[in-house]
Amino acid sequence: MCPLLLRPPLSLASTTLGLLLWASSASATDAGAPPGQLPPRPADVIAEYCGDAARQCTRAPLHYEKTVQLPIAFDYDTGWVPNSSALQVRFYVKVPADTTVKLDGFLETQWPEAMKLTAPPARLRGGYLGFDYGLEVGAQVKFSIAGINWQGNIPYFPQINWHLAQERFFDSWAFPPDAGTASAFSPQLRLFEVNLLALANIPSAVAKGGVALDLKGELKAEYTTERLRVELAEEGDADIVAKGGAIQRRFPGGAFVEYDVWPEGRVDYDGVLHLLPTAFVEVLGIGVSFPLFDIPIGVPLGGLDFDFDPVRVHVPLPDIEPLTETGEPYVLDFGAVPVGKSEKRTLTLNNLGEALALAGAFVEAQHAQSFTLLRSTLQIDPEASDDFEVRFRPTKPGSYDAALTFVTNDPDQRFVSVRLLGTATERERPDYGTAGSGPVTPDPEEPDAGTFYGESSGEDGGCACRAAPARAPLGSLGGAGLALTLGLTLARRRARP
């Protein structure tokens, strides 16, 4: 009969492999989904502006890390016993059975179509998948006697250090069809061997050779993010379920908004036991093995659900205070202003929000020359205000009614409307004085002081004519001209022969 050599430690390790693969199919669903409303608590991260010129986007960093252990995970260590003894022993048994997933990304909040939410990845290789399943068994001894110190494994006690372990980085968020994968092979175990050279009475210490059966385990893990949850959510609101996906959330208004954000994913396992019939030869302790073929045996494995703890994101926002409580346009009345004169009014915008507010202003084109803006843009710090000045300089008599519009980066008040009213009266005639009183100096405050009423100003029509200049009195220039004419006539008559 051919000798059959069994190796108990290796056999135990192979049995453990099968046990771990079977145990991984057990349910290990992680509990603790957040409630349907946001409980009061401090924010985990604070969003900042993305850097766009319009300041209509914020970005908050997100980091998630979770380790799920199977129920069979076990760790026991006696430590060195007995204490304070010259001779001590230690026994330990450890069964690692855990999977770890890490994810890094961002939550982007965008408007003016408030609120649009996206989750771009933080960077390439922003995800991590690692697992460790195995068995460690050991016994050690140490002593200190007569100045001799020694520590090592206890002879003839099975020492096992067997692991299926691997770790890999991948690109987050790993929405399907993308995935984060990691594969690991166990050390090759020899279940038994048959020494055929023993039939020829060749001592095994000199040479041996024959056939053996080896075992190698393979474990492949694959992580995918099924959805990225964002609360508060109303009935019918969708989650982010794809790379580059965007969702909408209602924004009630205010100085900020907060969201609880967390991914829900899953790790699925595939296991294979490889039976490897092998030929081997060993001479004087030096040997080689040749696997003859591979018999793969699939092992049905389950998966683990990964519901990460939510991260609360605080999003500071600009919040322009409404100018009226009714929602109607605010009225800025300049009253009665003579043509050619000007009047200035000041309007104050308040930013009640926690973020910088921007506003750009313009007057409708047909009244842009009558109502001028001393500046067209504003930047209002959080919880601050800024004054905005408008000048009214009418160009012809009549009533004026114009619209001033502010375009802001406030998510719930994109436009602020102001109604500009004014009445232009006839130009006040300048006092040119009496004849001989000297030249009249125009008023420096009147840009058109030298323009007579009725002269075209280039806006809103006009007669494009000019009044005739006043005539000088007869006793001055008129009288001198008449005398000169009469003298010339008399001189011509005397010159006749």
Question: Does residue 309 sit in the same domain as residue 326?
Answer: no
Question: Does residue 56 sit in the same domain as residue 25?
Answer: yes
Q: Is residue 493 part of a domain?
A: no
Sign, CA torsion 233/238/239/243: negative
- Pick the more confident residue, 7 or 157: 157
Domain containing residue 170: 4-73+99-142+153-316
For residue 424, give Cα distances in angstroms to 66, 99, 109, 392, 399: 72, 79, 48, 9, 6
Q: Is residue 118 part of a domain?
A: yes
Question: Does residue 28 sit in the same domain as residue 177?
Answer: yes
294-329 pLDDT, tens digit each? 999 988 788 999 999 999 999 999 999 999 998 899
**What is the phi/psi pair of residue 365, to 5°?**
-60, -40
Question: Does residue 236 sit in the same domain as residue 290?
Answer: yes
Last residue of a domain, one of 260, 287, 316: 316
The domain tally of the chain equals 2
Question: Does residue 171 sit in the same domain as residue 221?
Answer: yes
235-283 pLDDT, tens digit each? 788 999 999 999 999 898 999 999 999 999 999 999 888 999 999 999 9
166-223 pLDDT, tens digit each? 999 999 999 999 999 999 998 888 888 899 888 888 888 889 999 999 998 899 999 9
Q: Is residue 485 part of a domain?
A: no
Give the pLDDT of residue 300: 79
Q: Is residue 424 part of a domain?
A: yes
Rounded to 5°, the CA angle 355-361-365 comes to 160
Using pLDDT thresholds of 50, 70 and 90, give the confidence band for residue 436.
low
Question: Does residue 282 sit in the same domain as residue 326?
Answer: no
Last residue of a domain, one of 316, 331, 348: 316
Tokens coding 124: 């390439």
Question: Does residue 257 sit in the same domain as residue 179?
Answer: yes
- Pick the more confident residue, 287 or 19: 287
Instruction: With a cut of 90, say whether residue 60 has pLDDT above it.
Output: yes
Instruction: With a cut of 70, say whether residue 355 has pLDDT above it.
Output: yes
Question: Does residue 310 sit in the same domain as residue 322?
Answer: no
Given a contact cutoff of 8 angstroms between Cβ atoms, the answer to whether 374 and 321 are in contact is no
Question: Does residue 226 sit in the same domain as residue 337?
Answer: no
Q: Is residue 94 part of a domain?
A: no
How much is the average pLDDT of 438-450?
50
Question: Does residue 328 sit in the same domain as residue 215?
Answer: no
Chain centre to alpha carbon of residue 338: 55
Instruction: With a cut of 80, say whether residue 119 has pLDDT above it.
Output: yes
> If you average pLDDT over every residue of the chain, what do you get?
82
> Tell me, what amino acid is at 289?
S
403: CB partners within 8 A, 6+ apart: 329, 363, 364, 417, 418, 419, 420
Using pLDDT thresholds of 50, 70 and 90, give the confidence band for residue 6.
very low
Instruction: With a cut of 70, say whether residue 472 has pLDDT above it.
Output: no
10-43 pLDDT, tens digit each? 333 334 434 444 444 433 434 333 344 577 888 9
201-214 pLDDT, tens digit each? 888 888 999 999 99
Tokens coding 283: 């001479």
Question: Does residue 354 sit in the same domain as residue 233?
Answer: no
Q: Is residue 127 part of a domain?
A: yes
CATH code, 443: 2.60.40.10
Q: How far apart are CA 360 and CA 352, in angstroms?
A: 18
Question: Does residue 36 sit in the same domain as residue 160?
Answer: yes
Q: How far apart are CA 24 and CA 73, in angstroms?
A: 11
Give the pLDDT of residue 111: 93
Give the pLDDT of residue 432: 61
Last residue of a domain, one of 316, 349, 369: 316
Instruction: With a cut of 50, say whether residue 399 has pLDDT above it.
Output: yes
Give the pLDDT of residue 37: 54
Instruction: With a cut of 80, say whether residue 120 has pLDDT above it.
Output: yes
